[in-house]
Copies of this chain bind each other. A is one copy, B any other.
Amino acid sequence: MSATRLIDCLVTTDALADVFSDASVLQAMLDFEASLARAEAGAGIIPARAAEIIGSSARADDFDAGAIARAARDSASPAIPLVAALTDRVHAADKTAAPFVHWGATSQDVVDTALVILLKRAKPILAADHARLASALRSQSEAHASTVMLGRTLLQPAVPITFGLKAATWFSVAEGAWRRLARACDDAMIVQFGGASGTLAALGEQGPDVGRALAEDLGLAPSLPWHTDRGRLAAVVTTCGMYTAALGKIARDVALLMQPEIGELAEPGGGSSAMPHKRNPAGCAIALAAAARLPGIVGGFLTGMVQEHERAVGGWQAEWSAVADAVQATGSAVAAMAAAIEGLQVFPDRMRANVEAMGGADLAERATLVQRAGSGGHAGRLEDSLGSAEAIRRKLLFSRAGDNA
């Protein structure tokens, strides 16, 4: 069964919809509780037997996600009914263990950490698609290092470039943005654990040790509590916005070059023998839809960061859906563009013809300037005038893409 809802079919992928599915979200919250109990048992704070029972009770299959979702509205938090339901299950197994569920933690600890766990599951999915995209862009750039095409500014012809340079620029834009996003994700792989006060006061001097053990058990980094410091999550969401915008830039370029009157590129798929360049830019449409969706999610997240005191009323509660939406739309965009570029058809003859139709070599920048300075001279072959400068530029774009991040 697919995890993607039909209404969201263009703004997620099955793999990411699965990450944010009920079973996955439930398990992430339960993993926090189980790890917490183990860490506290290890420190001698709660009985080892309690930790065992909590751990064996923390299986998503045994919980009713719908009931928890409904009950969450009473407290504006899914953690409270989740902890209650877990406590019930533990109590049924061994009532002496029940008081030790969620010991010393606050509801935001479980909700925030669960979100981080979901991000950790999502990141490799995005990374794999980005790697496909980056690799495909590099291949296209190398294959077309000498393929001359029009540069275009304000949708009007400018001096010629090579398609190799254009693809290298796409690579650089996407790679730089991806490095920002990947770094933001890695920075956000931290546990949330502060207790009600943000000082772990309930655990006395053992607080920091328990925090470290908890983080290790979950495969996350320890951290000072960040209940109202949403900077790292904000970095994830804003870099999703920047990365999706980068993909949107590529998608718009491809869709424009697929116009049959231009006919320089085609997405894989469809097409007909009669009109070989007639293909819908479906992947581009998906990426552009994501690029239209992200700015608002980013804006909403930033709005919500103005949080009251030690836990917000409203701003924090808006975050779960915002992060889930941002990550899924981003993943939908990169999956679409990876497939589009991998299968991209390039028509060098049309590129050349479009350059010639606009004036050919006379368009070249050097020719224009030479003329302006009144020194006469002749323009020469386009390939020659472009060749060396472009080759250097292309190389630099690949080697320095990270510098822009």
Contact = CB atoms under 8 A, between A and B. Distances in A.
A317 B303 contact: no
A104 B315 CA distance: 37
A195 B159 CA distance: 10
Contacts of A368: 196, 202
Interface in A193-250: 195-202, 204-205, 207-208, 224, 226, 228-232, 234-235, 238, 241-242, 245-246, 248-249
Interface string A145-178: 0000001111111111100010001001100110
Contacts of A208: 392
B302 A386 contact: no
A4 B324 CA distance: 15
A129 B30 CA distance: 34
Interface stretch (A31-39, A70-78, A134-142): A70-78
Given A156-B279, A173-B229, 15 more contacts: A6-B72, A10-B72, A73-B282, A76-B280, A99-B373, A154-B285, A169-B228, A196-B368, A224-B400, A245-B302, A249-B307, A260-B358, A285-B317, A288-B313, A292-B300
Interface stretch (A18-26, A51-59, A119-127): A18-26
A74 B359 CA distance: 25
A85 interface: no
B242 A199 contact: no
A68 B2 CA distance: 10
Contact of A176 (B68, B231, B306, B369): B231
Given A10-B73, A76-B10, A293-B318, A156 B197 contact: no
A385 interface: yes
A229 B75 contact: no
Interface in A254-281: 255-256, 258-262, 269, 274-275, 278-281
A4 B298 CA distance: 24
A94 interface: no
Nearest to A280: B154
A157 B278 contact: yes
Interface in A292-317: 292-300, 302-315, 317
A366 interface: yes
A377 interface: no
Contacts of A369: 103-104, 202
Contacts of A242: 231, 234-235, 238, 302, 305
Nearest to A21: B5
Contact of A2 (B21, B66, B200, B278): B66
A334 interface: no
B292 A70 contact: no
A256 B309 contact: yes
A41 interface: no
Would you call the interface of chain A mostly helix, strand, loop, or mixed?
helix
A295 B303 contact: yes
A67 interface: yes
A110 interface: no
A256 B172 CA distance: 26
Contact of A155 (B25, B195, B281): B281
Interchain residue pairs A-B with the least CB separation, the first 7: A288-B314, A2-B66, A296-B296, A296-B300, A153-B311, A245-B305, A295-B299
Nearest to A65: B6
Contact of A173 (B228, B282, B358): B228
Nearest to A373: B99
Contacts of A294: 300, 302
Contacts of A72: 6, 9-10
A52 to B, nearest CB: 18
Interface string A335-369: 01000000000000000001001110000111011
Residue of A73, A99, A280, A297 ringed by the most chain B CB atoms within 10 A: A73
